[in-house]
Chains A and B, each alone.
Chain A
Amino acid sequence: MSRKGVLIYAETMGSEIHPIAFELIGKARELAEKLDLEVWSTILGYGITDKAAELIYHGADKVYVYDDERLRDLHVIAHKSALVELAKEIKPEIFLLGATPWGRSLAPRIAAALDTGLTADCIDLQVDENGELVQIRPAFTGNILAHIKTSSRPIMATIRYRVMKMPQRDPSRKGEIIIRKFNDVNCDGIKCLGKVSERKVSLADAEVVVAGGRGLKKKEDLRLLEELANLLGGVVGASRPLVEEGWISKDHQVGFSGNVVKPKLYIACGISGSPQHLAGMRDSGIIIAVNSDPSAPIFRHADYGVVADLYDFIPKLINFLQKLKH
């Protein structure tokens, strides 16, 4: 009898595998051991066949490859059709995708087509004492964590980027690569006319984020934060008001309607800490908050709170760090 499995979708960026795919495999491997399942991966795109081995090196037992020119673009109907067909045939117990914008656009269509439950943006997956999968996700703009179980199969979930551990790469690992044919479907409803612009910074990947909020008096003062960020090898983030004022691009926005970040160090400068901002940074490693208002909510979510005028404190901090660095 054939084994059952956890299927993960390996998202690609051009011809590269998005790192979320390896994180998904790491988690799938852990679940597979507990639930006696195999780890299956699928990768779709054009000119990506030679990448399939990487998924095996990171822990997949089988990789289903769809390499077709019609899958080159992020075409939601083409990708959905292939994945629905695959899921119907191999019947995974669990099907995981990354909670990237693309994953969150694609997964609901697959779930609706398979008529199964889908849990969005999970930050953990656990197996309970009954051997059932518990999906844990933030809701109410990150104010609560919901534990969710699914009664239908496959259990589908999207998983937030950078919350699962990256597994070790082992190039001696063996697995099976299965080349699949992309069956023609009517894809006329959508045409991808190409990339309009590329993201300039990736806040989600940053190890250090120095973020500014309404405590900044003018746009030019962002340079102060930039100076500190550069010194620490980090990037500048911003709360929503600064982005809405047009001081800085949306790429830099931290929060529920911007980027969710998880750097080693988050320095919040002149940010009061609205729920929508906290939802974007509460899982950071160390949180330092600088605010002149001692009752600012951000202090309740910080490891270190500095009650000070950022215009006084940040230059002094830069000065101190520069001296010690040399």
Chain B
Amino acid sequence: MRSGLGIIVLLKQVPDIEKVRFDVETGRIDRSSAPAETNPFDLHALEAGLQIKEKFGGSVTVISMGPRQAESSLKDALARGADRAILLTDPRLAGADTIATAKALAAAIRKLGEFDLILCGEKTVDGDTGQVGPEVAELLGIPHAAYVCEIRKITHEWIKVVSDMGDKYLYELKLPALLTVTRELNSPRLPTLKDLLRAKRSQVEVWTADDLSEYIPLDQLGFQGSKTRVVKVVIPSTEHRKGIILGGDEAVEKIGRVILSEVLGK
């Protein structure tokens, strides 16, 4: 019988959304305007994986798909306590929509072999879709729970979680299973300086599309394998807002009248 649990955490590197700027004309993101960071939701998934490993033994493998520089997010995950890190990077994987992304990740997970639990954030701050996690679960034919805000209990056979769908529901999932987690689940640890130095020397394994070809036809991946295409991007205008700035006591009366006429209909 196996002693520990095989845990996989899916991470994505994203631009720091609080700082990022967009070109209003083209709708393109100005990547130089913001540093890259690990998708904040995914850090909660990693923390959950590390806590389970600490309790049960086993290992945490982090997988990311993205450009070469996403390696820094994987090194950060190693510093926080992950055991193994794999970067899927290849121009043939680029431009993937959620289904093509999920296929690449599912193929990588198949290649890794046995696992018990897959964890990822509820969504990313750039794509905002929340679709990749459940799609990976479907492709692997395993159960999933989304918006997990609490892990109640875990054994080698099953996990009990609370899923926040407005109302909260308790689910029991047979392992292997996939969870997408919310920020309420835990507080991610910070790596110590010693951890960071150790991680700097550690290796991130780099896989290309060829490494996945045994598990998925390559025309199903990347831009070529995507079923959806972004045909246009626009920056939502704030011009329709009146932008009237008020101060002092005249503001009280003005705002009061706006509320009364437009909202209370008086």
Contacts and interface: CB of A to CB of B under 8 A. Distances in A.
Interface of A: 74, 76-77, 80, 100-102, 104-109, 111-113, 115-121, 134-135, 137-152, 188-199, 202, 207-208, 232, 250, 256-257, 264-265, 274-276, 282, 285-288, 294, 299-308, 313, 316-317, 320-321, 324-325
Contact of B165 (A101, A150, A265, A294): A101
Nearest to A240: B183
A276 B18 contact: yes
Interface of B: 15, 17-18, 20, 22, 27, 29, 41, 97-99, 102, 125-135, 137-139, 142-147, 160, 162-174, 177, 180, 182-184, 226-236, 238, 241-249, 251-256, 258-260, 262-264, 266
Contacts of B227: 115-117, 150-152
B138 A113 contact: yes
Nearest to B28: A144
A192 B135 CA distance: 20
B134 A274 contact: no
B137 A109 contact: yes
A197 B253 CA distance: 42
Contact of B259 (A80, A106, A321): A321
A257 B183 contact: yes
A300 B237 CA distance: 11
- CB-based closest 10 A-B pairs: A117-B227, A189-B143, A105-B146, A112-B138, A120-B129, A108-B134, A101-B165, A117-B228, A147-B232, A108-B131
27 contacts: A108-B130, A109-B144, A117-B227, A121-B128, A138-B128, A141-B128, A147-B233, A148-B229, A188-B174, A194-B169, A194-B170, A196-B169, A199-B166, A232-B264, A256-B128, A257-B41, A265-B259, A276-B125, A286-B262, A300-B241, A306-B246, A307-B246, A307-B247, A313-B252, A320-B252, A320-B256, A324-B266
Contacts of B243: 299-300, 302-303, 305
Nearest to B240: A303
Contacts of A197: 167-168
Contacts of A144: 22, 27, 29, 233-236
B165 A196 contact: no
Given A140-B20, A193-B172, A196-B168, A304 B244 contact: yes
Contacts of A137: 128
Nearest to B102: A112
A306 B228 contact: no
Contact of A117 (B22, B171, B226, B231): B226
A147 to B, nearest CB: 4
Nearest to A102: B165
Q: Pick the most buried of A207, A306, A316: most chain B CB atoms within 10 A of its CB.
A: A306
A316 B184 CA distance: 36
B259 A303 contact: no
Contacts of A138: 128, 236
B171 A191 contact: yes
A305 B244 contact: yes
A303 B27 CA distance: 24
B263 A208 contact: yes
Contact of B228 (A76, A118, A141, A304): A118
Contact of A301 (B129, B143, B241): B241
Query: What secondary structure prevails in chain A residues at the interface with B?
Result: mixed
Contact of A195 (B167, B233, B249): B167
Nearest to A196: B168
B234 A145 contact: yes
Contacts of A150: 227-229
Nearest to A150: B228
B265 to A, nearest CB: 10
Nearest to B172: A191
B99 A100 contact: no
Nearest to A151: B227
Given A199-B167, A274-B18, A306-B247, 19 more contacts: A76-B144, A105-B146, A108-B132, A118-B131, A140-B15, A140-B128, A141-B128, A145-B233, A147-B231, A190-B173, A202-B166, A232-B264, A256-B125, A256-B128, A265-B262, A302-B241, A307-B245, A313-B251, A321-B256
B165 A148 contact: no
Nearest to B176: A189
A293 to B, nearest CB: 12
B246 A304 contact: yes
B246 A118 contact: no
A86 B130 CA distance: 24
Contact of B253 (A113, A146, A320): A320
A35 B228 CA distance: 20
Contacts of A117: 97, 99, 226-228
Contacts of A313: 251-252
Given A276-B17, A317-B256, A321-B260, A134 B146 contact: no
Given A108-B134, A189-B177, A306 B183 contact: no
A285 B146 CA distance: 31
Nearest to B15: A140
Q: Pick the most buried of A100, A111, A199, A294: most chain B CB atoms within 10 A of its CB.
A: A111
A109 B247 contact: no
Contacts of A198: 167-168
Contacts of B165: 74, 100-102, 105
